[in-house]
Structure 1
């Protein structure tokens, strides 16, 4: 009996190996195409993880990681005693929260509006115009914002000609925050609609036909068909957005910030740049980056857990 079972298991194992070899041979070109992205992920995502060790060292650039002195958690203790770190952390959370409130619903609303357009050519032209800002560098956008909204910019020139006086768009806290969020929405809203438009296209058309027979208005179809149809996509993207609450891009706050609003524009990414590249303290910069990653992971897991608890589909 044992011999029979052994032969059976051996045959099953052999069949599995042959099946795997046949699939690799059949899809060999696809596996070759995977080598480049896999190499990219390994070289630029996994290999640099070794550098996290600098967060626990008094890192010396000349001695390297292997020769630098180990200090344990002293670097983290020093960072957590700095008021500038808490200011950068607070600013990061505030700016990301404002982006979440203003920027997250924007592509959803825009995708629904575009989906309701019946003039196909106008719809395509509108989509193209809305996508274009995504491909502009933040350096270019920062120059455009400065030329238009600085004290002597185009907007203030128009206001002065109307006798309304100048508005400090980029040097007062509230005005700067409004500009920061508005420019961010303008930059990303068109590109974000692609995902939601794809989700809307996947909704069963028979539901809309049935609602037409029942005499539903457009608003009712949006509320009862379109929004529930894209709800899983919205939940997944919301979870990912919450997971990024502690992290923020470097380009946008650095380009749009200035010395007059540095109290509000200094975020984690600019803080890391300042202490890492500016001051040459790579241990502190690495420690802040590690802290940022760990807290971001906690946010992501918590958001996914809450989504599962309320009966929604998470990202895993």
Structure 2
């Protein structure tokens, strides 16, 4: 317990002190305390930077697409797995669904490139059939739906774990009583399953809102060159190229702090809404 507490204290809470460089013209050789204080200059420059706002727009669009199209998939998959009567089939499907989560984004992007790229399997099949080929991987207009599809393929199975745990706590006698009363599958879902898992769904939704602006740094970085920064630049890659690559650490820290503040505000607001709806939320 002490080791776990120390980890979070040093690498999570202690690291928050590094946000101070967002208010400085940070020079690594001078250190945090030796670098010149510039106040809000980095933030003023950031708010006037069209490239930053373009990264924000891309981030928000991808985040909304993931929230709308990815978030329900683990729940639907969990309901499907829960409905299977054979435990052996359920375990096999679960194992197959979990497996992509442990594959790195480098492998995932390479697999999609082999299937949907300019010289991938899809275009090879279309070419053999004498049809028009399409380069989905290198198409900026198809990039945002593509990254959502990649996230669904990679992490939907892993996301079912908590939902399956919640579904396992539903009393089977409630389903039997509802069936005796004449309730069909949809009414049993609406009046028995959904109320039982609603607190978990709301909790995960609030946590997802807090991390909504983190839409996959590694995933975007690996595909950024294929479609260009206009389509793939997000806040995380903006921070990387401004800070690590460009050496403008104070400016990059300001952009990262902006992202963190927005996430905290969303968690606070979503938690308040959950309380108004009678749910427990993340905290009291």
Q: Give the TM bin, normalised by the shorter chain.
A: over 0.9
- Give 1:239's match in structure 2, choosing from 195, 206, 210: 206
Aligned to 1:210: 177
Moved more, 44-53 or 167-176: 167-176
Give the C-alpha shift of residue 216 in structure 1: 2.9
Q: 2-side partners of 1:301 and 1:225: how far apart?
A: 29
| Two-structure CA RMSD over aligned residues (Å) | 1.3
Partner Cα distance (1:291, 1:141) in 2: 30
In structure 1, distance between residues paired with 2:76 and 2:278: 24
Structure 1: give runs of 5+ residues left out of the alignment.
1-33
Partner of 1:136: 103
Contact 1:235 1:307 in 2 (8 A): yes
Paired with 1:263 and 1:104, the residues of 2 have a C-alpha distance of 26
User: How many matched pairs?
Assistant: 283
Q: State the distance in 1 between where 2:242 and 2:131 align.
A: 42
Separation in structure 1 between the aligned mates of residue 34 and residue 102 of structure 2, nearest angstrom: 43
Give, in angstroms, the shift of residue 240 of structure 1. Answer: 1.3
Aligned to 1:284: 251
Structure 1: distance between partners of 2:177 and 2:170? 13
- Does the aligned pair in 2 maintain the 1:168–1:175 contact within 8 Å? no
Q: Per-residue deviation at 1:247?
A: 2.9
Aligned counterpart, 2:272: 305
1:54 aligns with 2:21: yes
Partner of 1:5: none
Q: What is the CA–CA distance in structure 2 between the aligned matches of 1:298 and 1:55, rounded to whole Å?
A: 19
Match of 1:99 in 2: 66
Secondary structure in structure 1 of the residue aligned to 2:279: coil
The answer to whether the Cα contact below 8 Å between 2:141 and 2:231 also exists between their aligned partners in 1 is no
Question: What TM-score comes out, normalization by structure 2 length?
Answer: 0.95
Aligned to 2:158: 191
Are 1:222 and 2:169 matched, yes or no?
A: no
Deviation per residue, 1:170-201 (Å, 9 max, x gap) = 12233222211111111111011010000001
Residue 30 of structure 1: aligned partner: none
Distance 1:46 1:216 in 2: 50
3-state DSSP of counterpart to 1:167: coil
| Correspondent of 1:274 among 234, 241, 261 | 241
SS at match of 2:134: coil
Q: Distance in 2 between matches of 1:265 and 1:162?
A: 32
* Pairwise CA distance, 1:259: 4.4
Say which SS state the counterpart of residue 257 (structure 1) adopts. Answer: helix
Shift of 1:311: 2.6
Higher Rg of the two aligned structures? 1
